[in-house]
Chain A
């Protein structure tokens, strides 16, 4: 959606900002400006410099060269506090609220000011101030509510309130409407919550300027008045949504044309719908887990992708974890390779040839602090062992092979995986499973979450390759589009039960509407 373009002096301006880290220029002569009441989109692949730019805006980093101007006056932020005082508030990607205390305490944390006298809280004053902040965006959330009793959407609303509350700081250096930076706010939202957020941004723009960072191009186009494209630390383009489409943005961002065969549907293998069950790799009959899901049956054949669609609370996340032995099953039968299995722990699942690529990559996918090589060999080191001993030469060869095959961009196999970009970390997670000779089933739990377009394409390519090698894949995805495009069959869950099965052969895919009708 494009609002009326405001003119007027920029509220925030970066001029020729450069930031270097040892061995890399994170930002190279970047100039951008934000005008009053404008929503400015900022897009770029992982590693393009988005987060460095945001950290300079929020005072976490200082630029090496170039100028930062707030309302035309040069500013230098020595810490997050300075940025807040200059009226720049950030809605962080990971929520930054403390669950153990109240909404009011969170909103005014570190800025209690007159609400604390002589070390003592004046609760009525603090709550009244918080209520006034909440009222700014029309929220009726109680300031005394403990944050950990709120829903995700409510918490995000409080994040927004917190970000704009910088305009009320008693020691502010700029007395004007704030600039609110949204750092990839949509990567963890879906459906209704997403619409709520967009409505909030629309309302917010009447009283603030907004920088919206995302890697979902359609969203950026929808919400922004202007879009800046970052690539390799440089600002390579500035566009207005009316004059550009996602294809062009994509090309600018990645530096090559989108193939249009984004999901490689032409590489999707076909199945004769009468294929005998002999080809089944993963089978389920009447799986149930009390309170989560019940009577779920499906079958995944060699080289097949089964997509599981459903809203939050449909039970698909629990199902997916149960397949991997991370949740117990109350009833039903699970088969791998035609043999009945019972997984008491994930280790049982791994032994049976089931791999799991978790949604929480940073916490459950890669072991931070360990090297790329160690991570790749984490799940199964049997191929590089002689008895209980690891054979270094075999290890090195296997690791090298997978780094090359998946094109993991790492200086060397000994590099700490924490230093890699999200896309490369995900490749390490995939390599960890693919390098196991036992692997027969791979559960992909939101495999492209938080990845940029280029890295997503890589993941899609691997999915097709893995199918070609006869793996059975269970896919839970962030978007329906991805689910439909990648899957051979789609299973829709609603309230813990299977609501529908769809065939999704290339050229005969169900539409998103078909699925949504069954989801809600």
Chain B
């Protein structure tokens, strides 16, 4: 890019972004910094390297899920099938790898298949949503239940044990002090960022989330890119299910329990609007860290675990209220 041209081009600079909007964009980061400072002051056990690794480990699976979910939420949709997809993927992965139930021994291929199952769920979600024009909310609520159902059948009353040591190591061991799952999560995050910033899929998802009608009139195949978003989210859920299994060492229907709430919270708290068209993968990283730091810090300062869920609930409501603050208007329609 030619520098002289750049200078000239920027002189016709747009009007400044309003202060309120800028504060809002920086809000999640400020909140994260604030939380870290508060917990550091409250307990000496918080701001330590081992605890950082522990937070990262807790955040890994959530980060994978939230990165995938970001694309669907950017469209203005939502993927509620996360927990069901994780459950099916978990059982499929464990039952295909070395386990105490059958003679399979597919190793990494098992993880691949588990992830592919997630992609398939995403494909079904996307097809039902775009072809039958059913709101993503309803479609994914249904397919999520189907996922739980499939997993329950595979489960058969007794959790299959994962006996593949190589896979177990991914869930439990560290490389250079970093839990291996964290490395996977960071790779997924980087991939997600790459997709959002540099690929047609990522850019068109933003465009469609911003204004679907304009995209359609410009000849963009809206249905196709929506489909891609759901496949991305499904794939992430599938991978997350396999990751959770390597961590737990069993295939379990409950493997994703609580993750749906955490995922949507993380994405929205990070600053991606539920109405679509605003936010992205970097925001989601901040959101995931916020949720994870909060959960970790509350334990360390000795808050009763039974009220932690409520505290998280307060945080999400407060965060959404903050993002909607500048758009408050007596005549604004909320559905």
In contact, B15 and A80 (Cβ under 8 angstroms): no
B9 to chain A, nearest CB (A): 5
In contact, A101 and B14 (Cβ under 8 angstroms): no
A150 vs B203: C-alpha distance in the bound complex, in angstroms? 19
Most buried by A among B11, B12, B17: B12
Q: List 29 A-B contacts (CB under 8 A).
A: A79-B219, A98-B211, A98-B215, A99-B211, A99-B277, A100-B210, A100-B277, A101-B203, A101-B210, A105-B203, A109-B215, A110-B219, A116-B200, A119-B200, A120-B199, A121-B199, A121-B200, A121-B203, A128-B1, A139-B12, A140-B9, A141-B9, A142-B10, A142-B13, A142-B14, A143-B9, A321-B331, A326-B330, A327-B330
Asked if A145 CB lies within 8 Å of chain B CBs, one says yes
In the complex, which residues of chain A have a beta carbon less than 8 angstroms from the beta carbon of B200? Answer: 112, 116, 119-121
Q: How many A-B residue pairs have CB under 8 A?
A: 96
Question: Please, what's the 1-or-0 string for A97-124, where 1 marks a CB less than 8 Å from any CB in chain B?
Answer: 1111100010001111000100111011
Check A140/B12 contact, CB under 8 A, given A121-B203, A149-B17: yes
A145 to chain B, nearest CB (A): 5
Asked if B49 CB lies within 8 Å of chain A CBs, one says no
Q: Which 4 A-B pairs have the closest CB atoms?
A: A140-B12, A100-B210, A110-B218, A98-B210
Asked if A127 CB lies within 8 Å of chain B CBs, one says yes
Q: Which of A78-108 contact B (CB under 8 A)?
A: 79-81, 96-101, 105
A215 vs B218: C-alpha distance in the bound complex, in angstroms? 27
Asked if A364 CB lies within 8 Å of chain B CBs, one says yes
In contact, B206 and A101 (Cβ under 8 angstroms): yes
Question: Please, what's the 1-or-0 string for A4-27, where 1 marks a CB less than 8 Å from any CB in chain B?
Answer: 000000000000000000000000
In the complex, which residues of chain A have a beta carbon less than 8 angstroms from the beta carbon of B201? Answer: 119
Residue of B nearest to A105 (CB): B203
A319 to chain B, nearest CB (A): 14
Most buried by B among A100, A105, A143, A326: A100
A231 vs B13: C-alpha distance in the bound complex, in angstroms? 44
Which of B9, B14, B209 sits near A149, CB closer than 8 Å?
Answer: B14
Asked if A382 CB lies within 8 Å of chain B CBs, one says no
Asked if B278 CB lies within 8 Å of chain A CBs, one says yes
Query: Contact residues of A with B, CB < 8 Å?
Result: 79-81, 96-101, 105, 109-112, 116, 119-121, 123-124, 127-128, 131, 134, 139-143, 145-146, 149-151, 154, 321, 325-328, 345-346, 364
A141 vs B13: C-alpha distance in the bound complex, in angstroms? 6
In the complex, which residues of chain B have a beta carbon less than 8 angstroms from the beta carbon of A116? Answer: 200
A80 vs B218: C-alpha distance in the bound complex, in angstroms? 8
Check A100/B207 contact, CB under 8 A, given A124-B1, A326-B331: yes
In the complex, which residues of chain A have a beta carbon less than 8 angstroms from the beta carbon of B219? Answer: 79-81, 110
In contact, B330 and A346 (Cβ under 8 angstroms): yes
In the complex, which residues of chain A have a beta carbon less than 8 angstroms from the beta carbon of B11? Answer: 140
Check A100/B330 contact, CB under 8 A, given A140-B8, A141-B14: no
In the complex, which residues of chain A have a beta carbon less than 8 angstroms from the beta carbon of B183? Answer: none
Asked if B26 CB lies within 8 Å of chain A CBs, one says no
In the complex, which residues of chain B have a beta carbon less than 8 angstroms from the beta carbon of A364? Answer: 331
Residue of A nearest to B202 (CB): A121
B129 to chain A, nearest CB (A): 21
Check A145/B13 contact, CB under 8 A, given A326-B330, A328-B330, A345-B330: yes
Starting from the known contacts A101-B206, A109-B207, A140-B8, 4 additional A-B residue pairs (CB-CB under 8 Å) come to: A131-B5, A142-B14, A145-B13, A149-B17
In contact, B277 and A142 (Cβ under 8 angstroms): no
Question: Please, what's the 1-or-0 string for B240-283, where 1 marks a CB less than 8 Å from any CB in chain A?
Answer: 00000000000000000000000000000000000001100000
In the complex, which residues of chain A have a beta carbon less than 8 angstroms from the beta carbon of B334? Answer: none
A128 vs B1: C-alpha distance in the bound complex, in angstroms? 8
Q: Which of B281-335 contact A (CB under 8 A)?
A: 329-331
A327 vs B199: C-alpha distance in the bound complex, in angstroms? 43
Question: Please, what's the 1-or-0 string for B1-27, where 1 marks a CB less than 8 Å from any CB in chain A?
Answer: 100010011111111110000000000
Residue of A nearest to B5 (CB): A131
A154 to chain B, nearest CB (A): 7
A86 to chain B, nearest CB (A): 14
In contact, A119 and B218 (Cβ under 8 angstroms): no
In the complex, which residues of chain B have a beta carbon less than 8 angstroms from the beta carbon of A101? Answer: 203, 206-207, 210
In the complex, which residues of chain B have a beta carbon less than 8 angstroms from the beta carbon of A79? Answer: 219
In the complex, which residues of chain A have a beta carbon less than 8 angstroms from the beta carbon of B214? Answer: 96-98, 109
